[in-house]
Chain A
């Protein structure tokens, strides 16, 4: 398969810059993404479809919030925590944001050490990323518990528009699921790196194909995407 469909950059005609180059890349009888491996291109396309899913969630939240006659609960007060006798607005969400950004930072560095073939540092940084991700999910569980005990339900809440609960559980729940899946896969890939699977070309347990250090970068793409989605949720749901 690879021999007939792949077009290597080294055998390729030089391309014009800008839009003419894009048109040339997408022209018929060739591979569109020249120097991007299939694994990476497919992960990007999956992330694009995931973007649409989260886009639709945020859109439905926007529609619900605009179209209700009842005032929307103030997220600044709803997500405030009492620390040391004073109410600090949105503090838990801010900490969660910093935790997720830090995990993105450690992941980016894991990818970097992966390409330098530093097995130890890559695996440790990936496990650190997984730990930060798990911390994030834990804090989200705490937040859900707090809101549920305060009486937030998908069909109503004590402070205002009934749609608040359903939007909150849907959006943060789906994002939390993504983080959880990411943590599981981080641990799996970190184990492979630690064992040296990518150095000796050991077959994967699921696809039976040899992995490469690029797998770390593909894993990183997914993890950064989870962080990216949180940037939008933080802006539109918590701050707006």
Chain B
């Protein structure tokens, strides 16, 4: 679809010439069906197994501290990305749809930041009034 990248005033002219050709008059079907080779799903499935095993091994070998947390987060994001992009077909959806669904959850991070400060404050207040933990 070359005309998708064209913009501005040129659009109308482009569209008109194509319509005359008749070759690319129909741009796309109204609703796109998601048909992909089975092999793709099997590969993603295998990767999800590997990533889950990796995140389990983080706990099994008792890795601690920042390495543990960063590994957990990396494996989590990779798994989530594979599920959303391939299994839920988000990778093939229109950009307007992608942003409408994926941007709002990312904004939850603002809420997370707020609650981290709030929880730290609660902890400090508790230590100030009740002393350090038992």
Using CB atoms and an 8 Å cutoff, list the residues of chain A in contact with chain B: 6, 8-10, 12-18, 20-22, 25-26, 32-37, 41, 44-45, 47-48, 51-52, 55, 59, 62-64, 66-71, 76, 89-90, 94, 97-98, 101-102, 104-105, 107-109, 111-112, 115-116, 214, 217, 220-221, 224-225, 227-228, 231-232, 234-235, 238-240
Task: Indicate whether A67 sits within 8 Å of B27 (C-beta atoms), given known contacts A41-B97, A235-B55.
Answer: no
Q: Is the CB of B30 within 8 A of A8?
A: yes
Q: Is the interface of A mostly helix, strand, loop or mixed?
A: helix
B11 at the interface (CB under 8 A from A): yes
25 pairs from A and B in contact (CB 8 Å cutoff) = A8-B30, A9-B29, A14-B11, A14-B27, A17-B5, A20-B7, A33-B100, A34-B94, A36-B94, A51-B108, A62-B119, A67-B126, A69-B123, A71-B133, A90-B59, A98-B49, A101-B49, A102-B45, A107-B87, A115-B34, A116-B35, A227-B87, A234-B52, A235-B55, A239-B59
Q: Restricting to B36-71, which residues have a CB under 8 Å from any CB of A?
A: 36, 38, 41-42, 44-45, 48-49, 52, 55-56, 58-60, 62, 68-69
Q: Is the CB of A228 within 8 A of B29?
A: no
Per-position 1/0 for B98-134, Cβ under 8 A of A: 0111001100100110011011101100110010111
Q: Is the CB of A52 within 8 A of B108?
A: yes
B23 at the interface (CB under 8 A from A): no
Complex CA–CA separation, A180 to B131 (angstroms): 44
Complex CA–CA separation, A9 to B29 (angstroms): 7
Quote the shortest CB–CB distance from B52 to chain A (angstroms): 5
Task: Indicate whether A240 sits within 8 Å of B96 (C-beta atoms), given known contacts A62-B112, A69-B130, A224-B83.
Answer: no
Q: Restricting to B1-35, which residues have a CB under 8 Å from any CB of A?
A: 1, 3-8, 11-12, 14-15, 26-35
Complex CA–CA separation, A59 to B115 (angstroms): 7
Q: Is the CB of B76 within 8 A of A235?
A: yes
B91 at the interface (CB under 8 A from A): no
Task: Indicate whether A69 sits within 8 Å of B112 (C-beta atoms), given known contacts A94-B56, A104-B83, A105-B41.
Answer: no
Chain A residues lying within 8 Å of B3, measured Cβ to Cβ, are 14
Chain A residues lying within 8 Å of B14, measured Cβ to Cβ, are 14
Quote the shortest CB–CB distance from A107 to chain B (angstroms): 8
Name B25's closest neighbour in chain A (CB-CB): A10
Residue in A18, A112, A234 whose beta carbon sits within 8 Å of that of B38 in the complex: A112
Q: Is the CB of A69 within 8 A of B133?
A: yes
Chain B residues lying within 8 Å of A231, measured Cβ to Cβ, are 76, 79-80, 83
Q: Is the CB of A101 within 8 A of B80?
A: no
Q: Is the CB of A63 within 8 A of B48?
A: no
Quote the shortest CB–CB distance from B12 to chain A (angstroms): 8
Q: Is the CB of A63 within 8 A of B30?
A: no
Name B58's closest neighbour in chain A (CB-CB): A239
Chain A residues lying within 8 Å of B1, measured Cβ to Cβ, are 14
Q: Is the CB of A234 within 8 A of B55?
A: yes
Chain A residues lying within 8 Å of B111, measured Cβ to Cβ, are 55, 59
Residue in A14, A108, A116, A235 whose beta carbon sits within 8 Å of that of B15 in the complex: A14
Complex CA–CA separation, A51 to B106 (angstroms): 11
Task: Indicate whether A68 sits within 8 Å of B94 (C-beta atoms), given known contacts A109-B41, A115-B34, A231-B80.
Answer: no
Q: Is the CB of B93 within 8 A of A228?
A: no
Name A213's closest neighbour in chain B (CB-CB): B33
Chain A residues lying within 8 Å of B123, measured Cβ to Cβ, are 66-69
Quote the shortest CB–CB distance from A118 to chain B (angstroms): 11
